[in-house]
Amino acid sequence: MDIAVVGRGLGKLDRRTLASAGFTEVSIERAALRLFAGPRPPATAPRAPWVWIATAGLDPSDAAAAVLAGAYDAIALGPELAEILARRYAELATSIATGESPPGFVARSPAARRVLADLDRAAHTSMAVLLTGETGAGKDLAARYLHARSGRRGGFVPINCAAIPNELIEGELFGYVRGAFSGAVADYDGLIRAASGGTVFLDEVDDTPKTLQVKLLRVLEDHVTSRLGESAGREVDFRIVAATNRDLDVLVQAGEFGADLYQRLAILRIVVPPLRDRAEDLPELVEHLIERFYREEPAATHRVVRIAPTALAALARYPWPGNVRELRNVVFQALVRKLAGDELLLSDLPEHVVRGGPEHAAPALFDRTALAELIDRGAMNLRAVRDQLERTALELALARANGSPARAARLLGEVGRGASRDPGGTVRAMMRRHHLG
């Protein structure tokens, strides 16, 4: 059993004990398992797989910090160390091999490697998976990777719940027969039946109307769908993956999302980390995006082959509120502006990235003194304050848009949703939440 000791907390006696138990110390590059021995977790995590050996007692918060940094386990130094390490070594040797990352899904950082490992483990089950994370973090890529690794022979059918108007979504998902409603001129099997043998990906699942949630829960439970206008059902074999950038726990508590459906969707829950937690992935992501740009723009008159260290440092300082999607836009914009030279320079980047702050910083909308007073008095209700701001902005936008949700959506700017065939869909959902209109 080849190991490498990274820290300095193991004495000669401990090392001899490990050697007598069958462990062989080798170089860090050759080791199958790396040990960091010390009183606290390392400031810089070793390359995985690694474990932290706590030489001064195992504090629960330190153990959590080590695991979040990518440690497989945290073990207290003691007489059972060799036995525990032997078990961990065997467990790692039988772990599921990680598949090839999908294009654009760079996984060098501990946070990204952890997600990839979670996806690999989930892929070999038939259980529902709920992907959570910020807009632009890569939930769609994660869902596609999960399907590719699942071995399911059917197709991958993505469904953007926010892009389909409420009055049409039931028919789109479950299908309909000719004459079921005005405009139903032919039979249609629906998107879920189209995913037979494959995977249904419900993106922005929080935007499904409550009336649909009840039927969706029943379909997920028995895997039988019936088209609108017919009573007979048909069994369909599909795997469900859902995604949201909102906290469904909060929506359940507010009565905006069904508790039963949430529990059915979140059997396995995987959090896709934001780009700011994946600093180690940034250089390779930029390289991938440069290559992707020239694949998509073969007529480009010049070629950039690298990014300057100063430009990369600026990208590393920027907080990336739009995550990988925003990084793509920044890199593509810089490449379009580049007229000569094979290196992407700091001067090629947008000004807001060079400054280190978002392009459209929010104006001072809050009375900080009043908020501080509420907090000091213990009377703060963040959810109520957030809802009040959302409702006020929504009322103002609707008033200026003469009640049109589509025009109000354009006035409100980014409201947490991606491209949609129905740009007013999110605004209509907000209107329902706030009982407007």
**Res 132: pLDDT:** 93
Output the pLDDT for position 379. Answer: 78
Averaged pLDDT of the chain = 84
Cβ distance 243 to 268 under 8 Å?
no
- Count of CB atoms situated within 10 Å of the CB of 52: 30
pLDDT in tens, 246-265: 888 888 988 889 999 999 99
What is the predicted pLDDT for the residue at 268?
Answer: 93
Taking residues 52-62, what's their average pLDDT? 86
Q: How confident is the model at residue 287 (pLDDT cuts 50, 70, 90)?
A: very high
Per-position DSSP letters for 218-270, written without gaps between them: HHHHH-EE--BT----EE---EEEEEESS-HHHHHHTTSS-HHHHHHHTSEEE
- Provide φ and ψ at 37, rounded to 5°: -110, 125
Q: Distance between CA atoms of 420 and 166, rounded to whole angstroms?
A: 13
- Determine the angle formed by the axes of helices 405-412 and 425-433, rounding to 10 degrees: 90
Residue 274: pLDDT above 50?
Answer: yes
For the cut 70, the answer to whether the pLDDT of residue 142 exceeds it is yes
> What confidence score (pLDDT) does residue 401 get?
76
Which has more pLDDT, 239 or 380? 239
Q: What is the pLDDT of residues 310-368, one digit of tens each?
A: 999 999 999 998 899 999 999 999 999 888 888 999 999 998 888 887 665 545 566 66
Section 236-243 average pLDDT: 92
pLDDT digits over 186-220, tens only?
A: 888 888 888 889 999 999 998 888 888 888 899 88
Kind and range of the H or E element at 36? Answer: strand 33-38
Q: How far is 408 from 394, CA to CA, in rounded Å?
A: 8
pLDDT at position 437: 67
Greatest mean pLDDT among 143-152, 297-306, 387-396: 143-152
pLDDT exceeds cutoff 50 at 417: no
Q: What is the mean pLDDT of residues 393-420?
A: 74
What distance in Å separates the CA atoms of residue 280 and residue 292, rounded to the nearest whole number?
20
Question: What is the average per-residue pLDDT within 73-96?
Answer: 81
38 forms beta bridges with 54
Q: Decide: pTM greater than 0.85.
A: no
pLDDT of residue 10: 79
Rg (C-alpha) for the chain, rounded Å, is 26
Give percent above pLDDT 70 in the chain.
92
Amino acid at 146: L
pLDDT digits (tens, 9 = 90+) for 356-389: 876 655 455 666 667 777 786 777 888 888 888 8
Predicted confidence band of residue 18 (pLDDT cuts 50, 70, 90): confident
* Confidence band for 433, pLDDT divided at 50, 70 and 90: confident
Residues in the chain: 437
pLDDT the model gives residue 263? 93
- pLDDT for the residue 337: 87
Q: Give the residue-averaged pLDDT of 16-40.
A: 82
Q: Which residues of 388-427 are buried (b: 16+ CB within 10 A; e: fewer)?
A: eeebebbeebbeebeeebebbbebbeebebbebebbbbbb
Q: What phi and psi values does residue 205 have, to the nearest 5 degrees?
A: -65, -20
Residue type, 315: L
Q: What is the DSSP string of 169-213?
A: HHHHHH-B-TTSSTT--S-B--HHHHTTTSEEEEETGGGS-HHHH
Question: Mean pLDDT across the stretch 166-192?
Answer: 82
